[in-house]
Amino acid sequence: MTHSGRCYCGDIQFEFEEPIHSQILCHCRECRYLSGGEPNASIVISEDTFTVTQGAFKTFARSDLSEPRVRYFCGNCGTHICVKSPPRPGMLVLKIGTLDDHSWFRPQAAIFCVDKQPFHQIPADVPSFDKTPPPK
């Protein structure tokens, strides 16, 4: 199945093919900076299925880290679309709010709950982890 999405202003548009490897709520401090305080709702997809169909990303990576995450966003409206993370080569973490339809999203895990704030709510049926789930 093909999914499509865009930034807030529409300058950047994209699509990707399933599979979706995971659906997560991330409570880490870095994600909360980018979301305005709430956990980030994201999916993990294969980088090779992702195509920008219009526009071009701006990128940001912290220069003070040895292996920083690379963040991809719209240079016009600032919408944060996806992230490449060194621990996940070949994968993208895509923000579900950028998808044209994300009504199907159901988090499979809440991660980095060590940073969870008292006002954050995790659905009762969603497993939560202090950092990331143990390898399968």
Asked if residue 68 is part of any domain, the answer here is: yes
Asked if residue 84 is part of any domain, the answer here is: yes
Asked if residue 37 is part of any domain, the answer here is: yes
Taking the C-alpha atoms of residue 31 and residue 107, their distance in angstroms, rounded to an integer, is 16
pLDDT tens for 54-102 read 999 999 999 998 889 999 999 999 999 999 988 788 999 999 999 999 9
Asked if residue 56 is part of any domain, the answer here is: yes
Q: Percent of the chain beyond pLDDT 70?
A: 99
- CATH number, position 28: 2.170.150.70
pLDDT at res. 22: 94
Using a cut of 0.85, tell me whether the model's pTM lies above it. Answer: yes
Asked if residue 62 is part of any domain, the answer here is: yes
Asked if residue 58 is part of any domain, the answer here is: yes
Taking the C-alpha atoms of residue 32 and residue 37, their distance in angstroms, rounded to an integer, is 4
Number of domain units in the chain: 1
In the chain, the amino acid numbered 33 is Y
User: In 3D, which of 19, 8, 29 has the Cα closest to residue 92?
Assistant: 19
Asked if residue 127 is part of any domain, the answer here is: no
